[in-house]
Amino acid sequence: MATQALPDPDAAWTAVLARDRRADGRFVTGVLTTGIYCRPSCAARHPRRENVRFFASGAEAAAAGLRPCLRCKPDAVARDAAAVDQALRLIEEAESPPSLDDLAARAGYSPFHFHRIFKRATGVTPAAYARARRAKAMTESLATETRVTDAIYEAGYSGPGRFYADAKDRLGMTPSAWRGGGRGETIRWATAETSLGTMLVAATARGICRLSFDEDEASLHRRFPHATVEPGGAAMADLVRRTAAAVEAPDRPHDLPLDVRGTAFQEAVWRELTRIPPGETRTYAQIAAAVGRPAAVRAAGTANGANRVAVLIPCHRVIRGDGTLGGYAYGVERKRRLLDKEARTVGGGASGEHPLSLPRSG
């Protein structure tokens, strides 16, 4: 089994307080006063923080003189972790994605149980993980292969039909556009003045692909050097009006169409951002724990920063573990003003989860 990295102590403690089952197998909680170690999700009464040490494995805790909890049986989770590691290797090495039944049979579990432990460990389902791996391989192949068809087979797809079925959900743009820096794609843009400054909205036929501040048409040409980038004109007036309204009232749900794609981990982080209630904040460590990767605090921060549609996916609601605001692509002052807007209005009207049109795990 691969060695797990010990998570950030703040993220680990957050997972323990939440009794987060997704953290099981990633570390164990050692309680020095009782001499036992537990799963993060153990149902026993929480110890005092100063009496707790975290260990990467039960073996490390045992070496420190602790014994396993008889209630939560933390060592049993090692089998689950080994099964997930084996499944990850099988998915990565297979020419075509193995079925859930095959993965579960290799691990000696029922499909239902294996599906649950895999998602708890990785944050995504086996099918979603396999799609993300093939999509990543496809983008790499598109950058090196001369013909799209060659890239499709090089990435492990059984044929163009299977690739195009996945590409519709995973890549957003067509294969040739992806390979050619937006070649063949039409991106329309417009700007509007808001209380946060000049807002740029850019959209494909599918939805908004960028919402930013202090940017102009030249920035879109740099991002998509071979796309057709053109002013949106009157056709974008309604979309820009609705987007500006969402920026002015970030506490309110919106139904704006989005065209954003990322890795499976990025999409998990972005979905978690949409679940943060207006007027509240989360730390990077809490986001990492919420997507089932408590050790990936830095990666969660990177995924947060990769958000392409400011405000609509509320990355401004994530702060540092010490309570300071941390960074923001468009300046900390804008981040502060967004949070202030939400804090002032959240108690007096609409609130709720911002819908995010990303591919659902399968």
pLDDT in tens, 89-112: 888 777 777 889 999 898 888 888
Over residues 330-339, mean pLDDT: 92
Whether 38 is catalytic is yes
Tens of pLDDT, residue by residue over 181-192, are: 666 778 999 999
State the average pLDDT over residues 269-291.
Answer: 90
If DSSP states are collapsed to H, E and C, what string results for the chain?
CCCCCCCCHHHHHHHHHCCCHHHECCEEEEECCCCEEECCCCCCCCCCHHHEEEECCHHHHHHCCCEECCCCCHHHHHHHHHHHHHHHHHHHHCCCCCCHHHHHHHHCCCHHHHHHHHHHHHCCCHHHHHHHHHHHHHHHHHCCCCCHHHHHHHCCCCCHHHHHHHHHHHCCCCHHHHHCCCCCCEEEEEEEEECCEEEEEEECCCCEEEEEECCCHHHHHHHCCCCEEEECHHHHHHHHHHHHHHHHCCCCCCCCCECCCCCHHHHHHHHHHHCCCCCCCEEHHHHHHHCCCCCCHHHHHHHHHCCCECCCCCHHHEECCCCCCCCCCCCHHHHHHHHHHHHHHHHHCCCCCCCCCCCCCC
Percent share of the chain, pLDDT over 70: 79
Q: What is the mean pLDDT of the chain?
A: 80
Catalytic residue among 69, 72, 209, 315: 315
| 315 tagged catalytic | yes
* Among 141-155, 241-255, 290-304, 312-326, the least confident range: 141-155
As a whole number, mean pLDDT of residues 224-239 equals: 88
